[in-house]
Amino acid sequence: MCGVCGFASKQSRFSKDQLDRMVDSMVHRGPDDRGTLFLNTMGLGFRRLAILDQAGGHQPMSCEDGSVHAVVNGEIYNYKGLRASLIAKGHVFHSKSDAEVVPHLYEEGGIEALTHQLRGMFALALIDRKTESLYLVRDHFGIKPLYYTRKSDGLFFASDIQSLFAASVMTPHINDTSLWHYLSFQYVPDPHTMFAGVCKVPPAHYLMYRRGRVELTHYWKMGYDPDLSWTLPNLADAIHDVLKDSVRRHMMSDVPRGAYLSSGIDSSAIVAFLRQKEEVDTFSIGFGEDHGEVNELLQARETAHVLGTRHHEVTVTAQEYRDMLPTIVASQEDPLADPSAPALYFLAREARRHVTVVLSGEGADELFAGYPIYAEPHALKIFDYVPPKARHVLGQMAATLPPQMKGRGFVIRGSQTLQKRYMGNAKIFSEEEKVKLVPWIGDGKPYWTVTEPWYAASHHLDPVSQMQTIDGYTWLPGDILMKADKMSMAHSLELRVPFLDVAVFELARTIPPQFKVGQGTTKLALREALRGELPSTLANRPKLGFPIPIRHWLQPHGYFYDFVREILNPHRAPYFESSAVQSLLSAPKGTIFNQDRKIWTLMIFALWHQEFLDTAKCSSGMFGGTQGGD
């Protein structure tokens, strides 16, 4: 069940027609059903992808006396226990849908009952007619999106940004701060979007609107608390059991389901647990032409054979990737320069031909310390013995060396504090480079203003736990979960992530540092937990990531070489300083660190601008009109 929208106002200023347009703009999120509730000063809209109780799961849902109404995007995995408890207290249910527990649970215990008892992925909206309140609640990790825009006379919300524009209450404009941070992170960090005036309800937050007043509350925190009393065998057993239970809960559906399968242990573990219960369709992606060095298909095929699945493969050519890129960028809504995002689009398209639900391994690297960069604190430990002033001098000296000189980056990073050198898994442009690229913004707030609050909250922890905290609050919702949701929903496919379960996290947060990164590997405790489920060749397989051959494509005579230069020419991309762009495009290979990712980041933004801010497209009704302003 996959799309919610609506509004709230102090007076009857908005129409049923606006609500209908918002609902109809999200048909891709829910092609099976639609529903609306219009109450003059408040409204709820819903698009449904029927997963549970296909005949009786129509939304909005209400409590017995009609004083509470709700729409729910996602799945409540503990709904059966909640439902039984509520029935025992006298509540009457009219469907078998998991969403129906939401209005009854609120009626029983208020907003705190929702935020403390729901276990799942969800973005929900609830109207309390007695207090004239609207609540917007987003799940603990930010698996499902929830956007809103405030107006002088009310508030609009939706699962898609385009649904907000369909209400015809604002005109799309760039948020300068968002562009500034996008050039650093390759995505727009919460709570902002690239559109001025459009925000996200952050993960683990709820927003309350009451008679023109808005309050945002943080109801749960992703806090790590390593327990040094764990032994590795006991910890591995506990991880195995809680993950197996999470996969079991994530299987609930009345429609066909399957799983993504890459070369890594995360998706392999999920498939192994699924396979114990039923036959499984698995899906993998690779690239055509001569890109064997970055192709996971062979390893995924071997895993599928070992686990005995019905395996499906997608092979994408550079031509297909390039031709579909504008459509994919439009589906993302916010610019996201992760090259693997379009690959998920093609993978979801193939999966939807066979199933309606897929399980995937997102979140395992953040919770169990799977990224190779998490090994860096150990590698840089030698610098702990160098006095701070000497470290600073070493860093300055290293910065004067040629970019391609071996060891230069190691010394520079070793000379910096963790707070300055680590901002997450992507660091694209430096602050100095951004000033040259977008001088019209001026000297914006540095990237560490985004990460500083989470460093402050985790300052007492070991370096790896601090890095996990940063990624959990920024990279995970801003990149990993954003692309997972947008690319699957573009094909009306529901994607579920068993690693991102509250019970799984409550255990993962206690893993000691030595069981995260050690013995020459990452995710040490998770690998140990899976030894009984996966052959040792799979359990010990190093992380490959999601390899996309953009370096090959951007080379002279590559498929994207002329395409990028056309997209980024000064006439089509006047928002970037042309001299800075040309310097980047014409630089000899190997002379600029991260050159390919920088070019890709600029190209994705240029395509986003073309798709969303082109005057002709806006005036033609792509956003349902451009009346009003923010």
For residues 442 and 407, state if they share a domain.
no
Q: Would 470 be classed as within a structural domain?
A: yes
CATH of the domain at 96: 3.60.20.10
Q: What is the pLDDT of residue 628?
A: 32
CA atoms of 546 and 347, how far apart (whole Å): 12
For residues 212 and 286, state if they share a domain.
no
Q: Would 343 be classed as within a structural domain?
A: yes
For residues 492 and 355, state if they share a domain.
yes
For residues 419 and 465, state if they share a domain.
no
CATH of the domain at 430: 3.40.50.620
63 is catalytic: no
For residues 400 and 507, state if they share a domain.
no
Q: Would 618 be classed as within a structural domain?
A: no
For residues 23 and 113, state if they share a domain.
yes
Q: What is the pLDDT of residue 28?
A: 94
The SS3 call for residue 126 is strand
For residues 449 and 416, state if they share a domain.
no
Q: Would 244 be classed as within a structural domain?
A: yes
In DSSP notation, 417-469 reads: -HHHH-SSS---S-HHHHHHH-TTT-S---THHHHHHHHHHTTTS-HHHHHHH
Task: State the total domains in the chain.
Answer: 3
What single-letter amino acid sits at 551? Answer: R
For residues 482 and 419, state if they share a domain.
no
Q: What is the pLDDT of residue 588?
A: 64
CA atoms of 579 and 602, how far apart (whole Å): 14
Q: What is the pLDDT of residue 49?
A: 85
Last residue within a domain, chosen from 381, 404, 423: 423
Q: Would 619 be classed as within a structural domain?
A: no
Q: Would 622 be classed as within a structural domain?
A: no
For residues 52 and 83, state if they share a domain.
yes
- Options 2, 5, 63, 199, the catalytic residue: 2
For residues 356 and 451, state if they share a domain.
yes
Q: Would 227 be classed as within a structural domain?
A: no
For residues 384 and 351, state if they share a domain.
no
For residues 583 and 440, state if they share a domain.
yes
Q: Which residues of the chain have pLDDT under 50?
A: 292-293, 590-592, 616-630
Q: Would 181 be classed as within a structural domain?
A: no
Q: What is the pLDDT of residue 445?
A: 86
Q: What is the pLDDT of residue 481?
A: 98
Which of 260, 255, 265, 256 is closest to 314 using CA atoms? 260
Q: What is the pLDDT of residue 289?
A: 62
Provide the domain limits for residue 403: 372-423
Task: Kindly report each contact of residues 9-13 with a partner whose C-beta sits within 8 Å and lies 24 or more positions away, as own/partner.
Answer: 9/41, 9/42, 9/153, 9/154, 9/155, 10/41, 10/153, 10/154, 10/211, 10/212, 11/41, 11/153, 12/40, 12/41, 13/153, 13/154
In DSSP notation, 307-357 reads: HT-EEEEEEE-HHHHHHHHHHHHHHHSS----THHHHHHHHHHHHHTT-SE
